[in-house]
Each structure stands twice: as C-alpha cells, then as structure tokens.
C-alpha cells in the first residue's frame, strides 16, 4: 500500500469538510483511539489503541493526497470515496497499546463480516 500527501498547516478545515469546525473534528477523532491494520492472514486484523497525555490537533491544507488502498476500484467503485480533511499532532506524549485482534469471516469472495475476539495461542 502506498500513500502520498503534500500539505501544510492551516488555520481552518476546508469549507467542503463534513465537520462544522476543528473542535468537532478533533472530538470525533479523539473518541476513536482504537484502530485495526491488515495482516498477512486475510481474516485477522491487528488491534492497536493510542493513549495520549493531552490532545491538540491542527488542520492541514492538503494540496495532494493519493492512497493505493482507496484507489482500488474493485473495492471502492469510482465516486464512492472522497477525501475530507487531514489533521496533524506535534510533540505529543503518547503510548501505543495492543488491543484484541478483530477477525473476519469470508462470505461470497469480497464480503467480510467482522467480529471482535482475541488470539488465544
């Protein structure tokens, strides 16, 4: 997977953002500190949680953004994904903690059903 980003700090979100303000966006992302990443096992996602001492974000003015993941039209047909905005955090005291993995069950080739769980081995 590749990602390209060209951006600089800004004073505000783009007018086209789905968020009304920087505070609204910040609150949304602060509440979502758990994330999952793909693994070599097609049916297992690694869980991770971000813990911060303080939370302060700044908006980025994005000149160019490209993601091979979201560009895959077999997964995301043309017009179904739109970039909204980007934020940056600097000089943040933080820790990463493992979370239980998430497992999926393959259904009809492309459809996957997620379920929470943990590896017991």
User: Cα 58 to chain center, whole Å?
Assistant: 17
User: Cα 16 to chain center, whole Å?
Assistant: 19
Exposed / middle / buried, residue 15 (Cβ in 10 Å: 0-12, 13-18, 19+): exposed
**Average pLDDT in the chain:** 87
Rounded mean pLDDT, 45-52: 94
Give the integer Cα–Cα distance in Å for 2 and 72: 12
Instruction: Give every CB contact of residue 28 below 8 A, 6+ residues apart in sequence.
Output: 19
- Give residue-wise pLDDT tens across range 12-33: 999 999 999 999 999 999 988 8
Model pLDDT, residue 106: 67
**Of 30-39, 62-71, 105-114, where does mean pLDDT reach its minimum?**
105-114
Share of the chain above pLDDT 70, in %: 87
């Amino acid at each position: 997977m590749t990602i390209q980003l060209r951006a600089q700090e800004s004073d505000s979100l783009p007018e086209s953002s789905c968020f009304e303000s920087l505070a609204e966006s910040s609150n949304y992302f602060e509440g979502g500190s758990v994330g999952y990443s793909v693994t070599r096992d097609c049916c297992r996602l690694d869980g991770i949680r971000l813990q911060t001492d303080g939370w302060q974000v700044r908006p980025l003015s994005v000149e160019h953004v490209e993601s091979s993941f979201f560009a895959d039209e077999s997964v995301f047909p043309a017009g179904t994904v739109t970039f909204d905005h980007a934020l940056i955090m600097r000089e943040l005291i933080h820790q990463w903690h493992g979370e239980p993995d998430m497992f999926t069950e393959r259904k009809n080739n492309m459809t996957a059903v997620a379920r929470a769980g943990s590896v017991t081995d």
